[in-house]
Structure 1
């Protein structure tokens, strides 16, 4: 896709063209462009949010997952717990447990017992 094609796609998406938005999300996901996905997710696009969570988890981006989790996104919280558990990140699990996340508390207990 050329720069002018991308600009035209972004303009169409900005004007509310649903298919252009979907195409932009797909392109951003393929290119690993968290910025575009974040912008669309912050505008309330659930497909962009789902793609952002998936990509952030694949890239091991705790910060992005934390940001979404702290905004109340349960899927992001689950992915954050999974990633923190894989990395042995007790501080992150403790932070989530302190916020009342039962799954994080369970994972923390498992990692610290024994």
Structure 2
């Protein structure tokens, strides 16, 4: 797809063309285009958000997962906790626990008890 085609697809998506949005999300996911997915996610596209969470998890991108979790995304929060546990990131678990996340608090207690 040329840059011109992509530009036209973005214009159609911005005008609300559902097929163009779906194609743009799919293309961004296939290319691992985090910036495009983030833009689509921030505009409210749940599919883009799901793919963004998947990519962030695969890449171990705590910053992106934190950004989405802080926006209230439960799936991102769950993945953030899982990644923090895998990385023994006590600071992140503590931060989430202090925000009232009981799963993070439980994981933090388990890790610190060892």
Per the normalisation by structure 1, the TM-score is: 0.95
C-alpha distance in 1 between matches for 2:112 and 2:38:
34
Superposition pairs for residues 1-114 of structure 1, below 5 Å? Answer: 1-114=1-114
Q: Which runs of 5+ in 2 are unaligned?
A: none
Q: Give the alignment's Cα RMSD to 1 decimal.
A: 0.9
* Unpaired stretches in structure 1, ≥5 consecutive residues: none
Runs of 4+ in 1 over 6 A off after TM superposition: none
Q: How far apart are the structure 2 equivalents of 1:71 and 1:9? A: 27
SS of 2:100's partner is coil
Aligned equivalents of 1:55, 1:20: Cα separation in 2: 21
Paired positions, count: 114
What is the distance in 1 between the residues matched to 2:80 and 2:8?
35
Deviation at 1:23, TM superposition (A): 0.7
